[in-house]
Structure 1
Amino acid sequence: MKRNLCLALIVLAATLGGCAANKPGNDPSLIGSWKGVRSENGKCQFLSWKNNFKPDGTFNITFFRDAQQTQPIQTEHGIWKAANGKNELRTAGVPLPDTYTYTLIDADTVHYVSVAKDPSGDCQEDYEFTEHRIRG
């Protein structure tokens, strides 16, 4: 009986491991550090930011009051999922995710359009922005 149970557990573990291995990952072209700004003349309050999309599906983002990024406002972290031109950010402590469509302009430039956001977010307007990869 013990042997059958052990064998069943091994088969189950192998099956689940195989499913995890086939799980689609995040778009690898977004992994890394990026910076962006919200237009000063746009629909929402001006912000600039630096974010880091990690391969393990976590992110952190620091918001700044100024374009030079010397006056931090706050840092947030959470999990991200991106595939097929859709990026979803689930910030820790925020009930609903922010969702964007994205288009890669080149390896170091990505354009986003906001399509869904948590009602507690600082801007409830639809807006778009471009981020640039931070190298070095």
Structure 2
Amino acid sequence: MRIALLLITILQCSSVFGVATNKADLCPNLIGSWKGEKSYPDINAHESWVSTYQRDGSSSVTFTTKYQGEVTQDTEIGYWKCEQNILTKYESINGANKDSPKVYELLEVNQQFMRYLTILDANTVIEYVAYKVEI
């Protein structure tokens, strides 16, 4: 059942990570700062973030996570690239380099909000929404 739902989700998105699409290029709209949050009730966690994408390709994101009553904050610094609505972020967390980039598909990006998704594995697709903020 979960695989069927994943397949439906993939088909509805019209492209997933690099498959050609006729959608307008959303990448130029990323420049600026975005604030989002997401709850994960199955593990009793809540995460909020502020991401900034600079025109020169540099980026940063600060996460505030509440997990089982404990609050932590991490900052990721790095750079980004975006092609055909596929956003790839290369970052280090608190100074330590990450092994692999994060990859997202942009579904919608305008002056108010952005909607995007990532596929973690065959059973896990996560959709996010973030709102444009002035920093």
**TM-score normalised to the size of structure 2?**
0.63
CA–CA distance in structure 1, aligned partners of residues 40 and 33 of structure 2:
23
**Is 1:109–1:133's contact at 8 Å kept on the other side of the alignment?**
yes
After TM superposition, which residue ranges in structure 1, 4 or more long, deviate above 6 angstroms?
A: none
Q: Determine which structure has more spread, i.e. the larger CA radius of gyration.
A: 1
Hey, what does 2:30 align to over in structure 1?
Answer: 30
Q: 1 CA distance for matches of 2:107 and 2:37? A: 17
CA gap of 1:72–1:101, structure 2 versus 1, over 3 A, is same
Cα separation, partners in 2 of 1:77 and 1:105, compared to 1, 3 Å: closer
Q: Give the number of the structure whose residues are more often strand, by fraction.
A: 2
Displacement after TM superposition at 1:39 (Å):
2.4
Deviation at 1:128, TM superposition (A): 1.2
> What's 2:61 paired with?
61
Q: What is the alpha-carbon distance in structure 1 between the residues aligned to residue 77 and residue 48 of structure 2?
A: 16
Q: Report the AA paired with residue 102 of structure 1.
A: L
Mapped partners of 2:82, 2:43: distance in 1 = 25
Structure 2, unaligned stretches of length 5 or more? 1-25
- The offset of 1:72, in angstroms, is 5.4
Residue in 1 aligned with 2:114?
110
Change beyond 3 A, Cα 1:62–1:126 = same
Q: Is the 8 A contact 2:29 2:109 kept in 1?
A: no
Contact 2:30/2:109 (CA < 8 Å) preserved in 1? Answer: no
> Partners of 2:112 and 2:65 in 1: how far apart?
24
- Give the paired residue count: 101
Structural mapping, 1:44-123, within 5 Å: 45-65=45-65, 73-92=73-92, 93-115=97-119
- Measured after TM superposition, the shift of residue 88 of structure 1 is 0.6
Q: How much is the aligned-residue C-alpha RMSD, in angstroms?
A: 2.7
Identify the residue that residue 126 of structure 1 maps to in structure 2. Answer: 125
Matched residue of 1:47: which SS? strand
**Percentage identity across aligned positions?**
24
